[in-house]
Amino acid sequence: MANVIDGKSVAAALRLRVAAAAAGFSARVGRPPGLDVVLVGDDPASQVYVRNKGRACEEAGMRSTIHRLPVDVTQEALLSLLDGLMVDERVDGVLVQLPLPKHLDEQAVTDRVVPEKDVDGFHPSNVGALWLGREGLVPCTPWGCMRLLDEAGVKLEGARAVVIGRSNIVGKPMAALLLRRSATVVVAHSRTKDLPALCASADVLVAAVGRAKMLGADWVKPGAAVIDVGINRTAEGKLVGDVDYDAVVGHAGAITPVPGGVGPMTIACLLENTVRAAWRRAGLPKGELTI
């Protein structure tokens, strides 16, 4: 039976460490770390995500401001709001909730967030830093997956890791992080041949596809660590991952459930990134930030 990695409790512990660091920052700088979230339109899922991010910030003793813009906001107005946030000293982190309405240029918008405040880690400068092994802000979801692997004591050095999915948000940064830890990494995607056999060769398997229960028992090597990033809703309205959990839990070495695995880590890592950004911007000694 696999070690079921409890993302909820790992995330709760991380949030406590973030709150302690945020309190230390406030005491030294005279203001709390601040996250500004920009939400365009009224997509219900985005509304929920943004609300949760704001609440989590406040619980960790951080300031959070949500900027709600109408669905027909112009590109100019959105960029001008971002430009204001970039020069505002009290703003440490900025994120634009995606997806944006079709008339807006998503790339131009995310590029407008300066690397120092880019708590999503999407700016090309942060992406470059990640691949070059330099300091920067790392996308929250893959960073959370790494924390879960470490928490479960999974050995990464020399391990064969297969990441399914090559998105800029999850798959690619996940591959970079695993490579940084000396895993041998294969990135699989929709055109990959013999995917089940490839996956069955993995010591560490990360699924970030978005297809309910795609990975069955024969996709998983006995004893492998399985990280399920997928969030899918079944016809019955149930939340499931990309992995057929019931089929795999019996012989994987470790596995993250959905819900309660990777999901809770994403917000906790967003808080962590905001405190890291604040710490660096304030010029506080790096060695004194313990998260």
Q: Which residues bind ligand NAD (CB under 6 A)?
A: 141, 164-167, 169-171, 188-190, 192, 195, 208-211, 229-232, 262-263, 266
Q: What is the 3-state secondary structure (H, E, C) of 185-209?
A: EEEECCCCCCHHHHHCCCCEEEECC
Rounded to the nearest whole angstrom, what is the least distance from the CB of residue 169 to ligand NAD in the complex?
5
Rounded to the nearest whole angstrom, what is the least distance from the CB of residue 246 to ligand NAD in the complex?
19
Q: What is the spatial order of strands in the sheet that 225-228 belongs to?
A: 3-4, 254-255, 225-228, 204-207, 160-164, 184-188
Instruction: Judge contact between 246 and 225, C-beta under 8 A.
Output: no
Quote the tokens at residue 238.
Answer: 């149930």
Place of tokens 């798959």: 171
Instruction: Judge contact between 83 and 112, C-beta under 8 A.
Output: yes
First vs last C-alpha separation in the chain: 31
Rounded to the nearest whole angstrom, what is the least distance from the CB of residue 220 to ligand NAD in the complex?
15
- Closer CB to ligand NAD, 164 or 224, in the complex: 164
What does the alpha-carbon distance between residue 290 and residue 282 come to, in Å, rounded to a whole number?
Answer: 16
- Closer CB to ligand NAD, 32 or 139, in the complex: 139
Instruction: Judge contact between 199 and 205, C-beta under 8 A.
Output: yes
- Closer CB to ligand NAD, 3 or 167, in the complex: 167
Rounded to the nearest whole angstrom, what is the least distance from the CB of residue 30 to ligand NAD in the complex?
33
53, 9, 152, 287: CA torsion to nearest 10 = 60
Rounded to the nearest whole angstrom, what is the least distance from the CB of residue 98 to ligand NAD in the complex?
9
**Residues with catalytic function:** 53, 97, 120
Rounded to the nearest whole angstrom, what is the least distance from the CB of residue 231 to ligand NAD in the complex?
4
184-188 and 204-207 beta bridge pairing = unpaired
- Closer CB to ligand NAD, 78 or 262, in the complex: 262
What contacts 281, CB < 8 A, 6 or more positions away?
Answer: 92, 116, 117
- Closer CB to ligand NAD, 73 or 258, in the complex: 258
Quote the tokens at residue 158.
Answer: 């020399």
- Closer CB to ligand NAD, 26 or 232, in the complex: 232
